Structure 1
Amino acid sequence: MDSESKNPIVIVTGANSGVGFGICQRFITQLATRVPPDSYPQLELASKNPRLSIEPAEGLTLVLACRNPDRAEEARKKLWLLLDEFIAQQIRDGLYDGYAETFKKGLKIEFVKCDLSHSDKVFAFCDEIKKRYPYVSHLVLNAGLMAYKGIDWAVVARQLVTDFHGLVSTPEFKLQHVGETSEEGFGYVWMCNVFGHYIMAKELDQLLRKCPSLPGRVIWESSSEAKPQAFDIDDWQLVKTDQSYEGSKYQVDVIATLANSTVLYDEDGNSRPLDIVDETRPRHFVVGPAVTASELFTSKMVFSAFWTYLMYAARCTGSQLHPIQPVKGAISATYAMLAPLWALPDPSHPAKIGSRATFAGRPYVESELVRGFEGRKQDSIKLVAKMDALYGALKKSRTSD
């Protein structure tokens, strides 16, 4: 197998802006160095088994999975420019060794239209990926949205006085629409943030198993706003809750945790061990960007500039949860993509990888346990069973048409 055929093939959903774009930018510049800095082990909840690691590559196929072709093209051009700027900076700093030019020759940045709001469109996206690519090395499930309605200014004032760091880390003032459904009748936020990605992970499992640098990795982008209290198995499509965003991100936490487990559970909670020596089995990791100045809801807020100022104020007063810049918040994802497996959370721990930043703004990662997982394990297992059944029914209806 030649070197090009071993190069990573990476899919990033929501890649044209915010943290998704930051992941693309950071991953490209990391691979443009001979030894990517984000691959250095940093975590405590690691398996301590140094047997497996990712192989270096001299190129990359990066798939921008987005809805808007024009914005994807803008992002593609900007990524090329940022790589050129990175190389120029290395030359100015006297650090350039020629490796980045070799990598650049093997770099491909491509667009495949992806709309997570409808299952047919997600299946169509996966069909296109199967036609184009022989394998997938990394599937980064980043895209997300919020049913943003407005701001409760009274809560802003209360949190500003009583819990400043909480105000800019886990804000409680966001008002969200309740009851929004997709064209198919599913919870809209749930479809876009959770189930569309779930279909994608199931459909592309075989391509991930074909990755030459085993195993393939699935990166689920969570949030510091994921709330166990927003998870209700009786409202598993998040139609009745006024915290559909927080609930969707907690579902991401538990789904990925179960997917990465070395134990397989049925709907009744019975378990059996999986074949842990199956090196083709994709690994699933939950990551979180901490707090960044993304467009998720700040673009709709008249005080977005002031909000960014508050984030810097939080970091200057001791918060480590404010990387602020999306490219810095992306470090948790790129670490999960690049670090050797033994340096990533052990499957026996319900852990997620979180981005952090020092007072000076240097990004790093920490591992943290998924909050409330043990107490909600049975409901989490039921959730996955319901999603499996729905996925199976949708897939069957496609094949019978």
Structure 2
Amino acid sequence: MQFVSSSEKMNKVVLVTGANSGIGLALCERLLSQDTEGLQLCLACRNMRRAQAARSALLSSHPAAQVALLHMDTSSIQSVLTAAREVKLRYNRLDYLYLNAGIMPDPQFDVKAFFKGLFSSRVVAMFATGEGILTQKDCVTPDGLQEVFATNLFGHFLLIRELEPVLCHADRTSQLIWTSSSNAHRSAFNCEDVQHRRGTQPYSSSKYATDLLSLALNTHYNKQGLYSSVICPGFVMTSLTYSILPSLPAFIWTLLMPVFWLIRLFTNTFTLSPYNGAEALFWLFKQNPESLDPRAKYHSLTSGLGSNYTQPLQMDIDLETSEALYETFLQLERDVKKKLKEKQKESQHVHYSPAGLGSS
């Protein structure tokens, strides 16, 4: 694989996290379909086998495309720091950073709540947002962080902070574009428990915090030419969706699809395919970031007849909470970096201890 030197002239440099499948991969395909030669695309993924397969698929459709791979696991502090250093070695600028990687581990489906909602007036909202029927069991990473929080949110924040030299320039603008969710509910978020250690909806909490963080990033970075936006892909059939009911046979999902198509006649949020779900991500690529509303979430929507479009809707967020979250993140960044350095020093001490003395 050949990488373009940072000294060479670049057009648009785009990095997409979680790009090896689903909405992330669909976005990459759409970007290359619009502009193959004027785009430098970097797929940042934690599973390099799947990343290689994704790259091969993109190159089979666009042989002239420049598609690079980057190994990064947003749940790992060291992985993010290493990946950020690699990006700064490869590129002298980054025009678009799509913060798309995310997980919903071990989703628990409340069957009783589902059937209760199925025969109520909130049936469409229940399908579209999963509110009231989904909980998850989170775990702790080796860095001591909650996994959903680290993967969906904090790893991305740390990446942005590390990539400031290539994102922030006085003579041009760059964009941060987050994949949020309609499952981002204020009720799931607690500023005193940003990692959601005590709750059962870490995914919803992480997505609501994403909305808050985007607002804070605009407050602190717009003067440096960096702008942040969030999107909602709608209800999309991806591996994350299928994991909600993993025990269901494939034919059941096949039988459910006509039901989903029927529901789409009554709500435009059922985008269903990754291609449709990536609509807002792709739409933002073509916009002037200075004209965007920092308090809006840009929704991918699909009409009953299959037409895709993007619509901004105001988010349920406030500046005071967003600033408090930002300050919490800055302190957490200092803490995790300090802890990482202490681990590295301890490891070096053990490695270089004279034979027979062991470590202290």
Instruction: Report the TM-score, using the length of structure 2 for normalisation.
Output: 0.85
In structure 2, the residue matched to 1:108 is: 66
- Higher RCO (Cα < 8 Å, 6 or more apart): 1
1:11 matched residue in structure 2: 15
CA distance in 2, matches of 1:111, 1:216: 21
Of 115, 119, 135 in structure 1, the residue corresponding to residue 93 of structure 2 is 135
User: Quick one: structure 1 residues 307 and 380, their matched pair in 2 at CA, closer, same or farther if it must change by over 3 Å?
Assistant: farther
Deviation at 1:240, TM superposition (A): 1.1
Matched, 1:125 2:83: yes
Residue 399 of structure 1 deviates from its aligned partner by 6.4
Q: Specify whether residues 307 and 243 from structure 1 end up closer, same or farther in structure 2 by C-alpha distance, changes over 3 A only.
A: farther
User: Residues 181 and 239 of structure 1 are in contact (CA less than 8 Å); yes or no, is this contact kept in structure 2?
Assistant: no
1:312 corresponds to which residue? Answer: 261
Q: Distance in 1 between matches of 2:255 and 2:314?
A: 32
8 Å contact from structure 1 (residues 256, 285) kept in 2: yes
Displacement of 1:157 in angstroms is 1.0
Secondary structure, counterpart of 1:220 in structure 2: strand
Query: Any idea what SS the aligned residue of 1:390 has?
Result: helix
Offset at residue 81 of structure 1 (A): 3.0
Give me the whole-angstrom Cα distance separating, in 2, the residues matched to 1:122 and 1:307. Answer: 39
Distance 1:291 1:121, change over 3 A: same
Partner of residue 349, structure 2: none
Whichever residue aligns with residue 141 of structure 1, its letter is L
Q: Percent identity?
A: 28
SS of the aligned residue for 2:239 comes to coil
Q: 1:132 to 1:381 in 2, by over 3 A?
A: same
The 5 A counterparts of 1:335-346 are 335-341=283-289, 343-345=291-293
| Count of aligned residue pairs for this structure pair | 331
Aligned 1:253-332 pairs, distance under 5 A: 253-261=211-219, 278=223, 280-299=224-243, 300-302=246-248, 303-316=252-265, 318-332=266-280
Per the alignment, in what secondary structure is the counterpart of residue 355 of structure 1? strand
- Supply the AA of the counterpart residue of 2:141: S
Runs ≥4 residues deviating over 3 A: 303-310, 393-401
Residues 1:161 and 1:194: Cα distance change in structure 2 (over 3 Å): same
Structure 1 250/301 Cα, relative in aligned 2: closer, same or farther at 3 Å? farther
- Aligned counterpart for 1:22 among listed residues 26, 35, 38: 26
CA distance in 1, matches of 2:292, 2:19: 24
3-state secondary structure, aligned to 2:128 = coil
Q: Residue 9 of structure 2 aligns to a residue in which SS?
A: helix
2:42 to 63, 68, 91: 63
* Structure 2 counterpart of 1:234, from 176, 189, 192: 192
Q: Is the 8 A contact 2:231 2:299 kept in 1?
A: yes
What is the deviation of 1:342?
5.1
Question: The residue matched to 1:169 in structure 2 has which SS?
Answer: helix
Q: Which residue in 2 is equivalent to 1:207?
A: 166
